[in-house]
Amino acid sequence: MLTATFPTAATGDDAMSEREIVHPTATIGDVERTRCDAYNAEVVDVVDVHEGLRIFRVRPDEGPIAYAGGQYTVLGLGAWEKPIESGPQWPIDVSDRRIIKRAYSFSSPILDGGGSPSVAAADGSIEFYVTLVPATAEHPPGLTPRLFALSPGDRLLVGNRAKGHYTLGDVRADDAIVFAATGTGEAPHNAMLAELLERGHRGPIVSLVCVRLGRDLGYLATHRRVENRWPNYDYVPLTTREAWNADTAAANYVGKWYVQDVFDSQAIDVLTNDRFDPATAHVFLCGNPKMLGLPRREGPGSDSLIYPQPRGMAELLVERGFTLDAPTRRGNVHFESYW
């Protein structure tokens, strides 16, 4: 069975089960000592895209973490930390010393204050693009409701090194590069884009991102700035729940367009100036597993692959002669599932 080249970047956020307070005698001093022992970074900025989507900038105590575009690390907060107040409320067990951790891809500001490409911020902070996974009666709060309660100056845990193989790798300067993402799956692509711009990449670069609503495009303004300065770059946002996607009576009705639709039509060839050729192109897929559409083998030892339906990007790209990454072989289709 073909598997992604690095572990899923989002697991277990809402998998915690409800707990009873079992040690009500724990003190605030105990909690502070645990924070001092466990946390190694500080929040320096929070960009509130909207109530369910934020960009966090975090500065590790030990200085910047070296990473390549596409890699990831972990963020963590104590189970004793109070989540943002939304939905059902739960008692907090201040004696629970577990750290709730989750892997996140490094995002990027893409451009520095002077408009030059920058994978990382000049102040040594690192950037993460986070969707709130709201707590429900069935699923008490995990990590993201606690992250969303943070403000500049607050402390948290950050992994001390970057991990993962979802990187630009052997991309050549004249190759056509296509990024395709859903939601916050564009985070690693932002870092990869900045890396390509720093290298002076000459080939066409296209970034597609599919979201529900236009307000979910947290980096839209930055991508438009990049388009204005680099003629080989195109940012293509796709929405699925705006009036022009669903209301046939709307004056600007266009219907729903998903990432797959762009590749299933001739649009991707136009966007890459007819350079969308397996010999000279790489595709990076990140986000919803339904968009990825990764196949499974028909049986043990079988070379026959079964693709999920409705078909995703993997099947569309293989039909066009592209090769999926595999554990022992790098292809020209690279992928990461966000859950």
pTM: 0.88
Tokens of 278: 């397996």
CA torsion through residues 100, 155, 107, 194, sign: negative
Tokens of 215: 């307000």
CA torsion through residues 21, 80, 161, 47, sign: positive
Q: Which CATH number belongs to the domain containing residue 244 in this structure? A: 3.40.50.80
The total number of structural domains that make up the chain = 2
pLDDT at 124: 92
Contact 238, 258 (CB under 8 A): yes
Q: Give CA–CA dist 229/245, Å, rounded.
A: 30
pLDDT at 128: 98
What domain range is 69 assigned to? 28-158
Tokens of 240: 């699925």
DSSP assignment string, 133-180: ----SSS---HHHHHTT--TT-EEEE-SS-B-S-S-TT--TTSEEEEE
In a domain, 57, yes or no: yes
In a domain, 59, yes or no: yes
Considering the domain architecture, whether residues 121 and 50 belong to the same structural domain is answered as yes
The larger pLDDT score, comparing residue 90 to residue 274, is at 274
Considering the domain architecture, whether residues 130 and 185 belong to the same structural domain is answered as no
- How much is the mean pLDDT over the chain? 88
pLDDT at 27: 54
Q: Annotate 213-279 with three-state secondary structure.
A: CHHHCCCHHHHHHHHHHCCCEEEEEEECCCHHHHCCCCCCCCCCCCHHHHHHCCHHHHHCCCCCCCC
Q: Give CA–CA dist 290/1, Å, rounded.
A: 17
Considering the domain architecture, whether residues 215 and 123 belong to the same structural domain is answered as no
Considering the domain architecture, whether residues 152 and 181 belong to the same structural domain is answered as no
Residue 268 has phi, psi (to 5 degrees) of -65, -30
Contact 104, 133 (CB under 8 A): no
Out of 210-224, 236-250, 301-315, give the one with best mean pLDDT.
210-224
Considering the domain architecture, whether residues 153 and 54 belong to the same structural domain is answered as yes
Considering the domain architecture, whether residues 180 and 325 belong to the same structural domain is answered as yes
Q: Which residues contact 243 (CB under 8 A, 6 or more apart)?
A: 250, 252, 253
Considering the domain architecture, whether residues 46 and 150 belong to the same structural domain is answered as yes
Which of helix, strand or coil describes residue 287? Answer: strand
Which of 50-64, 90-104, 235-249 bottoms out in mean pLDDT, i.e. has the lowest? 90-104
Contact 135, 41 (CB under 8 A): no
Considering the domain architecture, whether residues 90 and 47 belong to the same structural domain is answered as yes
Considering the domain architecture, whether residues 183 and 324 belong to the same structural domain is answered as yes
Considering the domain architecture, whether residues 50 and 133 belong to the same structural domain is answered as yes
pLDDT at 14 over 50: no
pLDDT at 86: 63
Considering the domain architecture, whether residues 130 and 81 belong to the same structural domain is answered as yes
Q: Give CA–CA dist 9/70, Å, rounded.
A: 10
In a domain, 2, yes or no: no
